[in-house]
Amino acid sequence: MEIRSLENTTTEELLSVFNTSFSDYIVPFHLSLEQLELKITADKIDKHLSVGVFESGKPVAFMLHAEKEEGGKRIVYNAGTGVIKEFRGQGLVRKMYEQIIPVFQDRKVDVMTLEVIEGNDPAIRAYENLGFKIVRKLLCFNGIINHKEKHPEILIKEIEPFQWEVIRSFWDIEPSWQSSIPVLDGILQDCTLLGAFKDDQLVGYAIYNPAVRKIYQIAVDKNYRNQGIGTQLFRAIGEMTDGQAISVNNVDDTSENTAAFLGNTIGLKNWVSQFEMKRELE
């Protein structure tokens, strides 16, 4: 058994171990090659910073990592960890971290972060034993958007890439990895950027990826809330989806108004929740 970087592992090999590892997961799922390629691009996964366990030359466990700099810190994100059933119980997650953490330290990484599904107690305990701590709970929503009446005084239209400083003032919470500014900057060309205007002023926006039907960010100016602006943004996205389900992932559960809005007004379902965990590196 050998532990090494995934830099020379093909995406096809990675797909095989990925799908086998997650086939009996707490929330089983299966990716196509195209979906995995999209994930690698969207999450900014770097195979040089990712690691796997190999048996007879074939991967039987993996840990995918991405890196960004934000707020003066270098952050590494665990974008997925899996171990094939037959190789569990051998401490492979710990061994992969033992292999890769010195690499992170050489790169002056400040923080490691990951997400783990609520209810996956063995994984949570394993990460806690590795020094990770739960920092917040994130809610994941999906479903078909309830179409609402159109408000003619609110204009929704596509906009050009904006200055992040302008729309950050709309935020109540910091987005998680997949919806953070450094990550989105790399995929904005694949997204539809919608602006909500009232009296010619930008009062809300949404970033929507039609290829995966995912809303990465949506926010309304604090001075214009409860005026139907968020509803109109979802209405516009709903028209684009042709009745297909969309997802809004990793909503901070401290934003109770957002969760209630997505569930009660828009008609989405909180189908799963995750914990965001972090570990500081010295």
Q: Name the pLDDT band for 94 (thresholds 50, 70, 90).
A: very high
Question: What predicted TM-score, i.e. pTM, was given to this entire model?
Answer: 0.93
Confidence tier at 148 by pLDDT (50, 70, 90) = confident
SS3 state at 69: strand
Cβ neighbours for 167, distance < 8 A, ≥ 6 positions apart: 202, 205, 219
Sequence-distant (6+) residues with CB within 8 A of 240 are 192, 208, 210
Decide whether 2-109 matches 141-271 in CATH topology: yes
Please name the amino acid found at residue 275: F
CA triple 258-112-134, angle to 5 deg: 50
Which CATH architecture best describes the domain 141-271?
3-Layer(aba) Sandwich (3.40)
Q: Is-contact 215 248, C-beta < 8 A?
A: yes
What tokens appear for 167 in the block?
């729309």
Alpha carbon distance 2, 57 (integer Å) = 8
Domain residue ranges in the chain: 2-109, 141-271
CB 43 within 8 A of CB 178: yes
Whether the pLDDT of residue 162 is over 80: the answer is no
Alpha-carbon distance of 273 to 263, in angstroms, equals 14
Q: Please state, in angstroms and rounded to a whole number, the distance separating the CA atoms of residues 118 and 139.
A: 10
The pLDDT value recorded for residue 223 is 95
> What is the SS3 assignment for 71?
coil
* Superfamily, domain 2-109: Gcn5-related N-acetyltransferase (GNAT) (3.40.630.30)
pLDDT band at 44 (very low <50, low <70, confident <90, very high): very high
